[in-house]
Structure 1
């Protein structure tokens, strides 16, 4: 299994309960779903994008092979390649939902799983 990650506020994720597809808040503006791959990039993105976020943050663990929308690996301004999902994310590709934990040093992964 090839795993990619997507971060989302828990309150926003809750609005998709029982639905078959997920799209983030900025999907219409961006045209794709931002994702990341690998622990190093995960923490880098979490600490950059959600630096001042003080609500519950979730990590969607996604099996890339199960995603029905097109995934393109594209280089970002930081020169890293990131997976971008061009279309809604089918929730059956999400194999686990984990809680992130915010500390003084930044975001870390809480190893307990929601599903």
Structure 2
């Protein structure tokens, strides 16, 4: 399954340089990297990233993350993917811009479900 991380483009660029992503501020505070499934990612964007420009959508192969990835109850009791460890850039399937629409919501690629 593919899981997703919404992140500032400049922060992701630094991760690509380092070969790993250690987490954004909220991830570091919570002790794991917050990820979303395709079904969850649009709502995550609405709740936590509305009207934020300069973001990218990082798609990751969840199987490549091994036992460090756990699906745990979160918003509305839904199981969200949480990564307890570093996210290796080698596990990334794609990195795409996440532009803003006129309504302040992000425009997602058609293949994200």
Indicate the structure with greater helix content: 2
What TM-score, normalized by structure 2, do the two folds share? 0.85
Question: In the alignment, which residue of structure 2 is the partner of 1:37?
Answer: 37
Gaps of 5+ in 2: none
Contact 2:56/2:95, CA 8 A, preserved across alignment: yes
Question: In the alignment, which residue of structure 2 is the partner of 1:100?
Answer: 98
What TM-score, normalized by structure 1, do the two folds share? 0.84
Contact 1:71/1:86, CA 8 A, preserved across alignment: yes
- Report runs of 4+ in structure 1 exceeding 3 Å deviation: none
RMSD of aligned Cα (Å): 1.7
Number of equivalenced pairs = 108
Matched, 1:87 2:98: no
Contact 1:98/1:109, CA 8 A, preserved across alignment: no
Gaps of 5+ in 1: none
Distance in 2 between residues matched to 1:45 and 1:13, nearest whole Å:
18
Contact 1:43/1:108, CA 8 A, preserved across alignment: no
Please give the per-residue CA displacement for 1:28-86, whole angstroms capped at 9, x wherever unaligned: 31100000012x31100011100132x21101100111125611111113221100000
Distance in 2 between residues matched to 1:19 and 1:69, nearest whole Å:
22
Contact 1:101/1:110, CA 8 A, preserved across alignment: no
